[in-house]
Amino acid sequence: MKTSIQKLRKFFRLEAEREYDNKAVMGGLSNILSAWEMEAREDQLSEQIIQAVISRLRDYHRLSEDSREVVLKGVWQRVSRETGVESETQKQPPVTKQPKSQPEPEPGQPKNPEPAAAPEPEKSEPVPQAPTPKKDPPKPILDLDFQAPITTIKGIGEKKQEALKRMGIQSINDLLYTFPRRHDDYSKLKPIGSLWYGEFVTVIGSVKSVSSRAVRSGKMKIVEALISDKSGAIRATWFNQPWIENQLIKAKQVVLSGLVEQYLGRLVMNSPEWEPLSKKQLHTNRIVPVYPLTKDVTQKWLRGVIHDIVEEYSPHLPDPLPENIRANHSLSNLPDAIREIHFPDSDQSLQKAKQRLAFEELFLMQMGVLSQKKQWESRSGTAFESSEDWLLPQLESLPFKLTNAQKKALDQVRADLSSGTPMNRLLQGDVGSGKTVVAALAALIVIHGGAQAAFLAPTSILAEQHFQSLKKLLTQGSGDLAEIQIALLIGATPENEKEDIRKQLADGEIKLIIGTHALLQDPVKFQNLQLAIIDEQHRFGVEQRGILRQKGNNPHLLVMTATPIPRSLALTIYGDLELSVIDEMPPGRIPVETHLLNPSEIERAFGLVRGQVDKGNQAFIVYPLVEESDKVDEKSAVDEFNRLQEEVFPNYKLGLLHGQLNPAEKEEVMIRFRDKEIQIMVSTSIVEVGLDIPDATVMLVEGAHRFGLAQLHQFRGRVGRSDQKSYCILVPGTIEEIENQRLQAMVDTNDGFVLAEKDLEIRGPGQFLGTRQSGYTELKLASITDLDLIERARTEASTIFKQDPDLSQENHHQLAKAVKEFWTQKNTGDIS
């Protein structure tokens, strides 16, 4: 034991012998601090321990004897635990006030040990008592049922069961994994006379008086208590909790934790956490967990229930992480992590618990993703060859040359198609980078091999646009595909045409079908579907992709997104997919110039629109709402369309596009805009995806703060699709929103990957996931942006997967069970 710790132990033992009278050292314990600090630094104790000792002993002389006892106990427990001398000191307990024949307790242990008083309940609710030490050995793990219903817990009846069920808590295991939404640090204990306004502190004192009074014509009752120690007194107030009055009278000595406030010049505490003084504080004088709640569940009651369950069950939790992985990354074991995430001994141990549990979540996710990838790769698929002699004429017939990035992506797709294993590839590229051409060539390769391809788009407008562009691209080559072999199937397609298309698909006469959700309906059958292409894949759920795949026999799958995927997401959410990136724009594209305007400067933006339209160009004006709303104070497309047409642009042709129009109306408006019958399109966010208007040079977004970065970048991608200079003008709703970091990021860069990282950081993964595998947004502790932890989890998962892909080895049984439970809970069984 280091010298500084030995001395501390000696001083604490003497204090305990003297019944905490602060005379173990001449001048009091605070007098040892200067010399002890120097010795502690020579012994290389951590700065956290040194500061903890100093902060607790500096005001020791101002505390009551009971408070001093609590302080010394807490200090010694922390020092012995964090320096590794805990087990040694337990074998040789220091002297306290005890008969000589009895063993000596730890420094700071109570002078007259009594059973711990249970925290008083709120209202008349029974609060589970902190468990007393048991003489019996711990229950064997087989005796504990972690899936036992919560009704097996004493004090949980039908009413509490229903309330907890609303929170997703139905079993013992659910309680263990109901993590606090935050922790409040009440570990800072101070004498009442030393309190300052604005501090979060804990005080220990005697209840000198308790009173209650009614206010607001009897509708509310206020309970006030005067709490004092030797250094001073403070008034504590509780609102509308009348039952506290009797509880305080019985308590005599209490511990209060909360914010020190001021009223009429005096320091007060309003609605502090409190509990009777006992050996073990659960709600005060520590880092306290704060849980999410629902009706009929109070914070103090739930904290007590979870504490009892954690104490009894967590030591027996089986750890799914292999020991070597825990050692490689300095991770604590699962029982310790669960205990510390709920009731941490220090901030350091809390962070260590979070790190361990976050790593486990990401690791289990990676194991599932790798398993999905293995399942896909284990299937056999039809091989489609594409020789250079055949491909070269197809490329030469295109109206443009492929960029190097497009050529690389095409080579990767060709390799997949010829491998004999179904392709499972994500093709990502910024707006206008040319993903559709790569997908079209993939379809042509499959069609050349005698099979069929399907192209699924999220909207009718986008489906028709692809239909027109694919006809131009694919019918100019060596004659593999004729116009009559390409069809469009959307909701607005007349029923008699739908019937003809379905028949020709089943007979194999149609080789390439472009469509919306109409393609997924049961009557649609293929003769030999071998390639499914999905555009804007984040708009389709796993079930929809699964339905399309099942219309063929292990078809190849190519999914596309114009939202650049940050690396952390590529490793996790899309970790089962092979990734192709088109990170190069076609030559001749001029970057869109982006400006952020004050709402009062909107006339400048209108002037720019007029100037561009007068040159023969077109413009978009986007609004966040379709119609005016009482709940949201933002401009709407319908109202602003009328005002713009009558007052702002009376001499121009305006069109209106929003989601409440029926498909035929939307199509008519878009055709008129495409054919330049409409000069200015007033729209909602429906223009986010896939409208190709080469002459559009202005994108004006009002209420821009209402949109995420991904959406704003998509809006901007609707312009600048030719060799003309284009502009994106962002106008937030208020002048304060000018400082919005999303909007400023749009001005700073046109790089979609930079914006994607920023959007992920600001708004979380939901923006990128859509309905792909929704469980990923339900990670409890892991952050999908923590690239370092993700990469470490991925590396370890890959290593285990290479050694034991089925997790059949004996030392992986718990891991296999945990992976299964994790993915069952996430409901993410699709392997695309």
| 3-state DSSP of 401-435 | CCCHHHHHHHHHHHHHHCCCCCCEEEEEECCCCCH
Of 500, 552, 544, 547, nearest to 526 (Cα)? 552
Helices (H) and strands (E) in the chain, counts: 28, 21
pLDDT under 50: residue ranges of the chain: 87-142, 630-631, 767-777, 827-832
Please give the Cα distance from 651 to 646 (Å, whole number). 9
**CB of 372 within 8 A of CB of 576?**
yes
Summarised one tens digit per residue, pLDDT across range 203-248 is 888 898 999 888 777 778 899 999 998 888 999 998 888 888 888 8
**Nearest 5°: CA angle at 711, between 706 and 713?**
120
Q: 415-454: string of b/e by CB count within 10 Å (b at 16+)?
A: ebbeeebbbbbbbbbbbbbbbbbbbbbbbbbbbbbebbbb
One-letter amino acid for residue 70 of the chain:
V
- Token pair 């040319």: residue: 434
Q: Which two tokens stand for residue 472?
A: 């131009």
Q: What is the pTM of this model?
A: 0.60
Long-range contacts of 329-338 (CB under 8 A, 24+ apart): 329/359, 329/792, 329/796, 331/355, 331/356, 331/359, 332/356, 334/360, 338/176, 338/310, 338/314
Please give the DSSP secondary-structure letter assigned to residue 716: H
Token pair 């849980």 is at which residue?
291
Burial label for 820, CB within 10 Å (0-12, 13-18, 19+), is: middle
- pLDDT of amino acid 105: 45
pLDDT (0 to 100) of residue 295: 78
The gap from C-alpha 696 to its chain's centroid, in whole angstroms, comes to: 37
Lookup: tokens for 664: 């035929």
pLDDT, one tens digit per residue, over 338-390 is 999 998 888 888 999 999 999 999 999 888 888 878 877 778 889 999 999 99
How far is Cα 523 from Cα 730, in angstroms, rounded to an integer?
Answer: 45
Query: Taking a C-beta distance cutoff of 8 angstroms, is the pair 621, 680 a contact?
Result: yes
Tokens 């790593």 belong to 359
The answer to whether the beta carbons of residues 491 and 521 sit under 8 Å apart is no
The Cα 343–Cα 136 span in angstroms is: 24
For 167-215, where are the E strands, in sequence order?
182-185, 200-215
State the angle between helix axes of 347-377 and 787-803 in degrees (0 to 180), rounded to the nearest 10: 50
Angle subtended at Cα 243 by Cα 237 and Cα 244, rounded to the nearest 5 degrees: 40
Cα-based angle 515, 521, 527 (whole degrees, multiple of 5): 75
| Torsion, CA 562, CA 566, CA 570, CA 573, rounded to 10 | -90
pLDDT (0 to 100) of residue 774: 41
Three-state DSSP at 197 gives coil
Count Cβ atoms within 10 A of the Cβ of residue 685 and give its class: 0-12 exposed, 13-18 middle, 19 or more buried: buried
Strand-by-strand arrangement of the 529-534 sheet = 486-489, 512-515, 452-456, 529-534, 556-561, 424-429, 578-582
Q: Using alpha carbons only, what angle is made at residue 172 by residues 170 and 173, rounded to the nearest 5 degrees?
A: 95
Q: Which of 559, 146, 127, 480 is nearest to 308 (CA)?
A: 127
Inter-residue contact 728 to 716 (CB < 8 Å): yes
Per-residue b/e over 275-306, b at no fewer than 16 CB within 10 Å? bbbbbebbbbbbbbbebeeeeebebbbbbbbb
Give the pLDDT of residue 43.
80
Alpha-carbon span 65 to 229, nearest angstrom:
10
Non-local (6+) Cβ contacts of 797 within 8 A are 363, 366, 367, 370
